[in-house]
Structure 1
Amino acid sequence: MTGSELPEPVERRLQRLWAEAAERGAAMPSEIALASSLEVSRPAVREALVRLEERGFIHRRKGADTTVNSSLLGIPARFEQRLDSSELIAAMGRTPSVEVTDVRVEEVTLDEAHEHDVSPRQSVLRTTKVWSADGEPVLVARDAVPVLTRTDPTTLDPATPMVDLATALTGERVGWELVFPGADGLSDDDAALTGRPAGEPAMTLDATGISRTGTVCYWTREVHLRGAFRYAMVRRADW
Structure 2
Amino acid sequence: MTDKRAPDQDALIDRILHLWRADADTLPSEPRLAELTGASRNSVREALIRLEERGYVHRTQGARTSPNRRLPGVGRRIDEQFDHSLSIRAAGYEPTLEVVSADRMTLAAGTQRYDDLPDGADVLRTTKMWRVDGAPYALAEDLVPVTRVVDLDPQRPVFDLAEAANGIRVAWETMWIDAIALDAARAAILDAEPGTPVIEMTYCGYGADDAIGYWSREVQLTAPAGLRNALIRRVRS
TM-score higher than 0.5 here? yes
* 5+ long unaligned stretches in structure 1: 1-5
* Deviation readout 1:46-85 (Å, 9 max, x if unpaired): 2221111011111112321111111222223122112111
Q: Secondary structure at the match of 1:27?
A: coil
Partner of 2:138: 139
Identity of aligned residues (%): 37
- 1:11 aligns with one of 13, 18, 41: 13
Instruction: Output aligned runs, 1:1-239, within 5 Å.
Output: 9-22=11-24, 26-110=25-109, 118-151=117-150, 155-228=151-224, 229-239=227-237
Q: Secondary structure at the match of 2:73?
A: coil
Structure 2 distance, partners of 1:232, 1:87, is: 16
* 5+ long unaligned stretches in structure 2: 1-7
Contact 2:202 2:218 in 1 (8 A): yes
Shift of the alpha carbon at 1:115?
7.5
Q: TM-score, normalised by structure 1?
A: 0.87
Letter of the structure 2 residue corresponding to residue 236 of structure 1: R
Contact 1:21 1:68 in 2 (8 A): no
Letter of the structure 1 residue corresponding to residue 198 of structure 2: A
Structure 2 distance, partners of 1:7, 1:180, is: 29
Aligned-CA RMSD value: 2.2
* 71-80 vs 123-132, which moves further: 71-80
Aligned length: 228
* Deviation readout 1:145-197 (Å, 9 max, x if unpaired): 0012232xxx2211011100000011121111110011112221222111111
Structure 2 distance, partners of 1:46, 1:37, is: 14
Q: Secondary structure at the match of 1:149?
A: coil
Higher relative contact order (CA 8 A, sep 6+): 2
Q: TM-score, normalised by structure 2?
A: 0.88
Structure 2 distance, partners of 1:109, 1:67, is: 53
* 78-87 vs 33-42, which moves further: 33-42
Change (3 A) 1:20 1:106: same
Shift of the alpha carbon at 1:18?
2.6
* 76-85 vs 128-137, which moves further: 76-85
Partner of 2:4: none
Structure 2 distance, partners of 1:32, 1:148, is: 48
Contact 2:57 2:67 in 1 (8 A): yes
Letter of the structure 1 residue corresponding to residue 104 of structure 2: V
